Chains A and B, each alone.
Chain A
Amino acid sequence: MGMLEIKGIHKDFGEGEVLKGVDLSVNKGDVIAILGPSGSGKTTLLRCMNFLEAADGGTMRFDGEEFTFGHVKKKDIARLRKKTAFVFQNYNLFLNKTALQNVTEGLTVARKMPKAEAAAIGHKMLDKVGLSDRYDYYPHQLSGGQQQRVAIARAIATEPEIIYFDEPTSALDPELTGEVLEVMRQLAADGMTMLVVTHELGFAKTVSNKVIFMEGGAVVEEGTAEEIFGNPKQERTRAFLRLETKDDGVGKEQ
């Protein structure tokens, strides 16, 4: 049993099921990459796991506590969210806060940490993502890559048990994805548990210890990176990887 188990999660936005009973098991220290074509439900899965969308059915076991989707109390949601962090595709930095304030907000406001202590952590986290010269910059003064690195600093500042990454590099120019992936690579090396929805096959291949391929709201195939990339069993997976690698090749050449 892992630290986080999802069983039979369902979600329907009213136009057909987006998630058709997905199971997922995460162990401490896992770096799991979720791959799949657009509309396969991978982002919805991530958002449901952090209650940004209300799943219609299924269960979640987190840290030994059992929850049934659709019947989770607000208080429990708030408590669970304090153990997790979320990195968004479009960063979602607090626009009226500086880089440092973005990192400390969750500490001082949500966790009642004294300001000085939070600031020290904030500095440390921003240093870690290579932004020691950008403490007092507002989001609009930062590049996309820098904003996403602030978002990662904000995510790790609260020492979460797991970080959800929702296509963290999809909004970035190819030349800026590298700096974000490098930070994520470092996090993985530090033993952070990560669940990453991504199109970066290179990252999935080299960093993740488990790869999940989703399509049409269901898991088509899962296994280690070697298994999925080296010897995919499902034809769908093979077709997807062929296509993506080709696209990737073109993208990387530029």
Chain B
Amino acid sequence: MLFYGIFCCSPPFYPENIDRKVTDMSERTLHILTDSFWKILVPGLKVTLPLTAVAFAMALVIAIFVALIQFANVKVLKQIARVYIWIIRGTPLIVQLYLVFYGISGLGYLINPFVCAAFVLAVNEGAYCAETMRAALEAVPAGQMEAGYCAGMKYHQIIRRIVLPQAMRTAFPPLSNSLLSMMKDTSLVASITVAEMFMAAQRIVARTYEPLLVYTEVALMYLVFSTVLTWLQHLGEKRLNRYRGVKKAAVR
């Protein structure tokens, strides 16, 4: 509110009108804020968060699959996995979004923007998370695999019950990073007509012409969402730590 008073006073400035003008501005500000709060929050809850959840869930499935292919050294599939990661990490997300959405639309097929956004985000984030997962899988001591074999277990049993759970614990913090960054990246899908939180803010700005106010508001909204996700990460880590003694050096 204060910064609005400082930054948004539009000249010319008439001292005799100051009282009335400030009151007007405060009222208008308050009105815009309350009005836009819901207009931004609702798409946030109805589009941004579900899009994040759906896309990230798919990204995780892709990541685990792609990482396991490389971990298990499956011949041809491994090459395909490397090419996939190379292409996705080498091109911007916004270009990928445009390419798929406008590319397919341009061919004359109608495509649901939400579905398209979820797909592109999942494929994009999947490549990054696949590398995280691969590193985490490789960090599991080889002895775990050997012990599994010696206990009579099969490869897939050892992976599913022993190696993957341990890798997931290692990968959890970097994966949480990816989740956060993806949640924020959903703002890009406004450009392919998905009516999410950022698009809602853009619309309000177009109507009220208060970019500083409204974009600050939407930024704070993202910050709240991120904070909740970070808090969930800490809860998750705490739970996963039960079988891993987190040792900290006693001396500095």
Contact = CB atoms under 8 A, between A and B. Distances in A.
Interface in A123-146: 138-141
Nearest to A50: B150
A105 B151 contact: yes
A93 B243 contact: no
Contacts of B147: 86, 88, 92-94
Contacts of A110: 151-154, 157
Contacts of A92: 141, 143-144, 146-147
A96 interface: yes
Contacts, number: 73
Given A88-B143, A109-B161, A141-B245, A95 B152 contact: no
Interface string A48-89: 001110000000000000000000000000100110111010
Interface residues of B, number: 22
A78 to B, nearest CB: 7
Contacts of B141: 92
A236 interface: no
A50 B146 CA distance: 10
B233 to A, nearest CB: 19
A85 B245 CA distance: 27
Contacts of B162: 94, 96-97, 105
Contacts of B154: 78, 110
A249 B105 CA distance: 82
A120 to B, nearest CB: 18
Interface residues of A, number: 29
B165 interface: yes
Interface string B146-181: 111111111001000110011001000000000000
22 contacts: A50-B150, A52-B146, A52-B150, A78-B152, A82-B152, A88-B143, A88-B147, A92-B146, A93-B147, A94-B144, A95-B243, A96-B162, A97-B243, A98-B243, A105-B153, A105-B162, A106-B151, A106-B153, A109-B157, A138-B244, A140-B244, A158-B152
Interface of A: 50-52, 78, 81-82, 84-86, 88, 90, 92-98, 105-106, 109-111, 138-141, 154, 158
